Structure 1
Amino acid sequence: MEALYTNLHYLLVDNPTISQFEWKTGETFASSLQFLNLTVIFYLSLTFFLRRLSLPPIKSSILRPISAVHNLILLLLSLTMAIGVILSVLSQMPNPKWIVCFPISQTPKGPVFFWAYIFYLSKILEFVDTVLIILAGSNRRLSFLHVYHHTVVVIMCYQWLSKSQSLFPIGLATNSLVHVLMYGYYFACAIGKKPRWKKVVTNCQIVQFLFGFVISTVMIYYHFKGPGCSGIWEWCFSATFNATLLALFVDFHSKNYKPPSMMKINGHD
């Protein structure tokens, strides 16, 4: 077990590519503001035009294998990011306070910021989710929540890196763990073994947001009690975004997981 941990720690933390990582806006790949803007515009434009084209659904026999591979990649990537950032935090943090409150002088370098960078790039990869939904003709799944989430989360992750935003390591770890569950569910659906725990995925997403707000109170305490925490204005953006997501997820939960008695009242069997 010790040898396994040592090897895992080297691969996910001590590897020079990871341990010596430094985000440099405009120099690191995909780090310019122009790249971010063009990426978001491209995603929204592609989504709009594919929807307007009203393409006939692609056969599930063709789309399912592609979807299965895509979801499996994101499942494994999410698991790797969760383990990587947890090990990196334990390695890089000078004290427990650092987890929730970076010092004002914090620079975006080291293994924790490497995993934030991979997380940022993974959110661009997740745009493929939308394309697969449209090609499958699943209009019900292409909701405002879906497009809004995919669009703004990329902006939020960019700010994590460009402004060394406090508290992001916890958000990265919890979100990656939830995505392991979520993409595990979608992978099972793609191979024809639909699990019965879709509601669990939504519940975990809601709990994730609630936990984020609770832990944010600790960061706010440190910010006003001391010299301040890095990226406080970017945290305000993230907190507002997460609050809107929480409201949308709660609304989604109430509409899709009604008790049997309510279903009958509304005329459903």
Structure 2
Amino acid sequence: MGRSVIQTLTFWLSEHPSIVGFRWSHANSWGSTWSFLFTAIALYLTISVLLHLLLALLRRKGRPVPLGPIPALHSLFMTLLSFTIFAGITLSSAAEIKETKWFWRRSKTPFQWLLCFPLGTRPSGRVFFWSYIYYLSRFFHMIRTFFTILRRGRVVPFQLFNHSILTFISFMWLEFSQSFQVLAILSTTLVYSVVYAYRFWVAIGLPRAGFAFVVNCQMLLLGCNVACHVGVLLMHFMKGGCNGIGAWGFNSVLNAVILLLFLNFYVKIHWGYGRRVALAAVEEAKAEAAEEEVVRVKDK
């Protein structure tokens, strides 16, 4: 019974003809053109700004727009989608390594293949199918921006920049058969599965973590990405070149900008969190002192 379930999942996640025969094509893959990419990002930014302006005119100050169960359902959907992509690309990578290692095994180990595709790699097959699904999932991530605007009544510039750049990067992975994307998708979807599960947990009224859980997860993800980027660079010079290294270099610059912006945000979050904890401790100490004073007065 258990083996049958595993075989069924393996078929649907890595052996289905649509997955094995996938090919990134401007003619046949939805959303695969540069014009679509730039139009979609521009539309996302425009809607976000217009929604912000509309709320500034119509909404009462400090009053969030009620969203009901929508954010919780979105978080649940993104949890399942992220985990599906993680499972799919894990099984697909194992299958691709098994079938193609005869071609590159003298120069690379399987882990090195995950970092550095051989020169001449084309965007087709199992791994690129799940890379394509990940690219499409970026548009579902954008929806969370609208929730933030409706709740807070304002745009968060870092959020707009982050979603736009990550969507652009995921497009370039496919367009240039870029190395490193497998490990990037594995780590990102694993972290997103945890982050969105936590958001769903909080959205249905369960207790929050005692620290900035989401921010720390994102910081961990960025740290892993930096380490992998260093690995790609070393592999490129030591193993005869990695496919899509030009796109990788451009994406590295974009990732560096995101990292710097996030570090600034991370420091502010932790500084603010530390100050809130300190102020809460001071207030608690004052309350305890007041209670002791009342007791002493009563005793007299």
Flag whether TM exceeds 0.5 (same fold). yes
Q: For 1:73 and 1:262, locate their aligned partners in 2 and report how far apart those are by CA, in whole Å.
A: 33
Please state if 1:119 is matched with 2:134. Answer: yes
Pair member with larger Rg: 2
Tell me the residue number matched to 1:71. 75
1:40 to 2:41 alignment: yes
Return structure 1 stretches of 4+ with deviation > 6 angstroms.
none
Q: Which moved more, 1:106-115 or 1:183-192?
A: 183-192
Partner of 2:13: 12
Pick which of 100-109 and 89-98 moved more: 89-98
Shift in Å, 1:184: 1.3
Could you tell me which of 238, 242, 261 is aligned with 1:225? 238
Distance 1:107 1:170, change over 3 A: same
Q: Which residue number in structure 1 is paired with residue 298 of structure 2?
A: none
Output the CA distance in 1 between the equivalents of 2:216 and 2:24: 34
> Identity of paired residues, percent?
30
Assess if the C-alpha contact under 8 Å between 2:195 and 2:217 holds in 1. Answer: no
1:68·1:187 contact (CA, 8 Å) conserved in 2? Answer: yes
The equivalent position to 1:214 in structure 2, one of 221, 227, 244, is: 227
CA 1:146–1:110 in structure 2 vs 1: closer, same or farther (change >3 Å)? same
Query: Residue 50 of structure 1 corresponds to which residue in structure 2?
Result: 51
Counterpart secondary structure, 2:69: helix
Summarize the Cα distance change of 1:30–1:106 in structure 2 as closer, same or farther, 3 Å threshold: same
1:106 aligns with 2:110: no
For 2:182, the equivalent position in structure 1 comes to: 169
- Matched to 1:109, the amino acid is S
Contact 2:65–2:150 at 8 Å: present in 1 too? no
CA contact (8 A) 1:202 1:249 kept: no
Pair 1:24-2:25 in alignment: yes
The count of corresponding residues between Structure 1 and Structure 2 is 265
> Per-residue deviation at 1:263?
5.5
> In the alignment, which residue of structure 1 is the partner of 2:150?
135
Residues in 2 aligned to 1:238 and 1:5: alpha-carbon distance in whole angstroms: 36
The runs of 5 or more residues in structure 1 that have no matched partner are none
Determine helix, strand or coil for the equivalent of 1:136: helix
Deviation of 1:197 after TM superposition, in Å, equals: 5.5
Which residue of structure 1 aligns with residue 163 of structure 2?
150
Q: d(CA) in 2 for partners of 1:120 and 1:8?
A: 22
Amino acid at match of 2:261: L
Give TM-score scaled by structure 1 length. 0.90
What is the distance in 1 between the residues matched to 2:35 and 2:275?
52
